[in-house]
Amino acid sequence: MDTLLSAKKALILDKRLDDMRTLKGLLQRLGVAQVEVASSVNMALSILREETIDLCFMVYDLGKGEKNGLQLMHEAQAEGLYRFGTGFVLVADQEAASLLFGSLESSPDLCIEKPYQEGRLRMSLQRLIRLKQAIKPLDSLMDQGRWVEAYDLCEQKLRQYPALKVFMQRLQGIILLRLGRYDAAQALFGDLLEERDQHWMRVGVGVAAYRRIELHQAEEALGSVIRQQQVCIDAFSWLARLHRLKGELNQSMTLLRKSVLLQPTVAQLQAEQGDVAARLQDWRMAVDAFRAAVRFGRYSAFQQPDYYFALAQALRARMEDLQGDAVLEAEQEAVQVLEQVVEDFNHDPVAQFKSRLLLSDVLRHSRDKGRAEQAARAALEMFDQLPLEYQAQWLDQLLDGLEHSESAAQAHAIRHDLTPKTVSIDWARINLKGMMAFRKGDVAGGREAFLQAYQVQPENPSVALNLVQAELELLRREQSDDPVVSIRRCDDVLFNLQYAALTHRQQQRYSSLAERLADRLKTRLGTSRAESE
């Protein structure tokens, strides 16, 4: 029995039962105290929610139409289940493995092949366990999000373990990005690249350069990773986002289409593709993308009501391009999707309300006036039952959603009654203060108020768009204290909104602001290029 492995807990993710049993038997002979097994990523996630796992073995290829094993790390991070202290072991052949280590944070610690060889497995796991033991305090600080302390300890570990220089500098780069120290992170990854060329280093350079709004360097670094055929969610997502920021929606769409061909089960990439398709009014593509986002997001951190709403919105828009039975089929699917929201988010009163609100819009567009008005009344009743703070948050959604219904007058009466009550809500009062300041020409004061409100209510589209508008006005007037920070904030806010799930009026405002941001960015990049020449 290997004492290094005793008292350790392991998780095996594999769909082939014979191989799963073989690896489980090997680990038990090596002294692993407890071995859990899962045949899917979602099943593995459910185990990670309940157990602290020391060694996680992830078979990459779990079959056609199934999430691959590497997605377990990505989805665990999204859900807050990822632990730096866990040893992640990918099971894949060497040819596939060479394309799977491009991610900065979601790359496994070790790769092994089938058929398993006990002697080689023992040696590999012993090295991995010793490494984890040596940096256990650092992993603990990173798991707790104590990034400043983690950086200081990382510096100590670098001096203590010079043989682990590259490994430790990778962690150091991750910490610097989490701390927002993008200059230092870009310099660190750049120095690493001068010594050796590894894909995760280029991702690090690309992300740091992007956050500094040095988009040419970011595009070059991230593009090189993709050109090397790396199956890397980070590289595709950040580069597609870069093109969106620049207003290059067609280039973003081309990149995302390629990404989902390589990784069709990644809900995040599918949703990003759906959003870009919606902005391009490619409703067929948007419908396909959001269908996949809903499907592959289920039972994970990516199971979000907005994916359902975006799919229903895309289906409603798609109906206008269809004829005959195809219109009825699209309508039926949209209704089914919204009914699924009621079932899947039965403990979320806001999701229930928004589902009825959007259902009224879908039915109205299909000229089913009676059912549309019935859904509108149901939405009003649900809205009336929401707590005051939720009512304040989603009042604009109610007004936009019922604008063309017989219930529009009732919605406006609700706004009239609700507005005086919102002064008791801190973020709503601050948002109102920002609107008044902005209208009086005090753009900086308005921006500060909107920022405070946004920090409390980041999911509120109206507050988010108010903040972006104020930031852009400061940039236009050249009154921003730090233009890079302002551009980065606008980008973050717009990217975090699910465009396709917004109301039509909010989508129009979003598109206008995104175009203004792209124009401002082009002016800035052109000025920077001229100065460098």
Three-state SS across 1-37?
A: CCCCCECCEEEEECCCHHHHHHHHHHHHHCCECEEEE
Q: Where do the DSSP E strands lie in 352-473? A: none
The mean of the pLDDT values for the chain is: 94
Q: Distance between CA atoms of 180 and 184, rounded to whole angstroms? A: 9
pLDDT at 157 (0 to 100): 94
Helix or strand holding residue 56 (H, E)? strand 55-59
% of residues, the chain, pLDDT over 70 = 98
pLDDT at 34 (0 to 100): 94
pLDDT at 183 over 60: yes
pLDDT digits (tens, 9 = 90+) for 249-268: 999 999 999 999 999 999 99
pLDDT digits (tens, 9 = 90+) for 339-365: 999 999 999 999 999 999 999 999 998
Q: Please say whether the beta carbons of 270 and 296 come within 8 A.
A: yes
pLDDT digits (tens, 9 = 90+) for 220-249: 999 999 999 888 999 999 999 999 999 999
Which residues of the chain form CATH 1.25.40.10?
425-533
Taken in order 321, 323, 326, 330, the sign of the CA dihedral is positive
Structure tokens at 142: 């990173």
Instruction: Reply yes or no on domain 425-533 having CATH 1.10.3720.10.
Output: no
Query: pTM (2 decimals)?
Result: 0.94
pLDDT at 527 (0 to 100): 58
Helices (H), 144-266: 147-160, 165-178, 182-195, 199-211, 215-227, 233-245, 249-262
pLDDT digits (tens, 9 = 90+) for 126-171: 999 999 999 999 999 999 999 999 999 999 999 999 999 999 999 9
pLDDT-derived band at 42, boundaries 50, 70, 90: very high
pLDDT at 528 (0 to 100): 57
pLDDT-derived band at 526, boundaries 50, 70, 90: low
pLDDT digits (tens, 9 = 90+) for 103-123: 999 889 999 999 999 999 999
Collapsed DSSP state (helix, strand, coil) of residue 124: helix
pLDDT at 533 (0 to 100): 46
Question: 1-124 has which fold?
Answer: Rossmann fold (3.40.50)
Collapsed DSSP state (helix, strand, coil) of residue 376: helix
Residue from 430, 485, 484 nearest 460 by CA: 430
Residue given tokens 């989490």 in the structure block: 178
Which residues of the chain form CATH 3.40.50.2300?
1-124
Give residues with Cβ within 8 angstroms of 431, minimum separation 6.
449, 450, 453, 457, 462, 463, 466
